[in-house]
């Protein structure tokens, strides 16, 4: 299932959401391509989604969840890829 959390992360004068899959990275990459997200938006285990794209992602089938639930579902599915300790 494709998941999206609310646009609440500020960066570069925008708010951002996270788009993830609790099934597979293949499902996530296919969904991202379908809605037009560039591959450079992928970050370890999710895509960074600008707030302006949030409604489009939901209309395309992404399920709205809290940020906490999104991370929990990634961990439960074994798809969470945390930053390495050496990156700080």
Instruction: List the chain domain ranges.
Output: 2-81
Is the per-residue pLDDT at 82 higher than 90? no
Residue 44, exposed/middle/buried by CB under 10 A (0-12, 13-18, 19+)? Answer: exposed
Is the per-residue pLDDT at 59 higher than 60? yes
What does pTM read for this prediction?
Answer: 0.89
**Which of helix, strand or coil describes residue 40?**
helix
- Return mean pLDDT, the chain: 93
Give the pLDDT of residue 84: 62
Q: Which of 54, 45, 35, 40 is nearest to 75 (CA)?
A: 45
52, two tokens: 């302006």
């Amino acid at each position: 299932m494709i998941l999206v959390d609310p646009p609440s992360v500020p960066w570069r004068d925008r708010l951002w959401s996270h788009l993830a899959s609790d099934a597979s990275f293949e499902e996530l990459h296919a969904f991202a391509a379908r809605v037009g997200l560039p591959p450079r938006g992928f970050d370890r285990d999710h895509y960074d989604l600008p707030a302006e794209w949030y409604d489009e992602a939901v209309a395309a089938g992404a399920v709205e969840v809290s940020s906490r639930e999104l991370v929990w579902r990634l961990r439960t599915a074994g798809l969470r890829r945390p930053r390495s300790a050496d990156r700080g």
